[in-house]
Structure 1
């Protein structure tokens, strides 16, 4: 389970954007998170990904209560969570080729020897051609770069995925391709998903249930998504 209990979180010099927020995601479950701008969706996603320390509350990953954040979190917990952010150009090193972007987690975690085998597999899973892998971020489109960022998030085979507005800057065909890649991975591994989006239709079709986050407050459970419509996004 990925459990966020009674979280209060914010940023220095400002009132908290989350107050007493609770969310639980079961293994294999896809949960959508929606709400108005500024309500704390991205902050909650960053807390769930162990990238932002809450002021109060607890995060528990597969039965292990989290005590450290970012690089202070145990590697065994950090690597269980893969993250895809909204703006790929802010989350990819512009000096790296797409191949290096994808391989970055493997190299950083002492798994460099796996790169020759895993790189082709990961790039194919997100629809990147060999020719694109040699390019740097400024030489590809936002959609192509986001595909590389998704492949990077999948490189360590995480048990949990956090997709924070992953498709908000992309066209419909690229959105469908990325959602399809995430769902193929989840079908194969049983990974759980937290998907943050302003697109209610996307969350309804993609997720098992959707939670609405009100400004400065905890989210409440919304209606369950329609799994039968998922093929609209994965065909």
Structure 2
């Protein structure tokens, strides 16, 4: 299982939100590049980046910092937030990002996902953010009519190989992930599921591992010290 340390970028800084609310922001570092280097030095095998400004505005806002992060580490980087056209996707992949995560654009424009997956294969990931089992979009500001599981199945059918599944109600709350929802998602699909949202302890990571997820994104718990990355990596290896 892979542990993905999360770096959420807002106005050039490394931050965390609570339940995806842009009004509830904590800045953890003024230097996301240093943060990425730190996680790599501690043994991370993959970095999870989110352009929060991009998620809200629908266009990549922090691309210079993202390029710098990619250049400064030798491990792969996956990126989500504001990537809504095939040109955006190409530009990010050309800049060295290993995988691109499509969220709002996947809901609004499944044809984009289909085209991107046909062209870029496993480098295209779909991020499914759920609120009460329904898919949320636009930086979590709106909720669509799709159920998370049925939408994931649809993405699988059109060629997506990996889903990042986030339960928004748990995100940034340090109250533990929604294990039942994660298990249901893994059991419903034949593709990889990466769990995101709510990880607050090593025991959460152990519980998620039992569901069969391919990886776990850990954000706030790393920044508050609730979870040590070194210990999390050990649990993932066991």
Structure 1 length as normaliser, TM-score? 0.40
Q: Decide which structure has greater strand share.
A: 2
Give 1 or 2 for the bigger CA radius of gyration.
1
Q: What TM-score, normalized to structure 2?
A: 0.40
Q: RCO higher in 1 or 2 (8 Å CA, sep ≥ 6)? A: 1
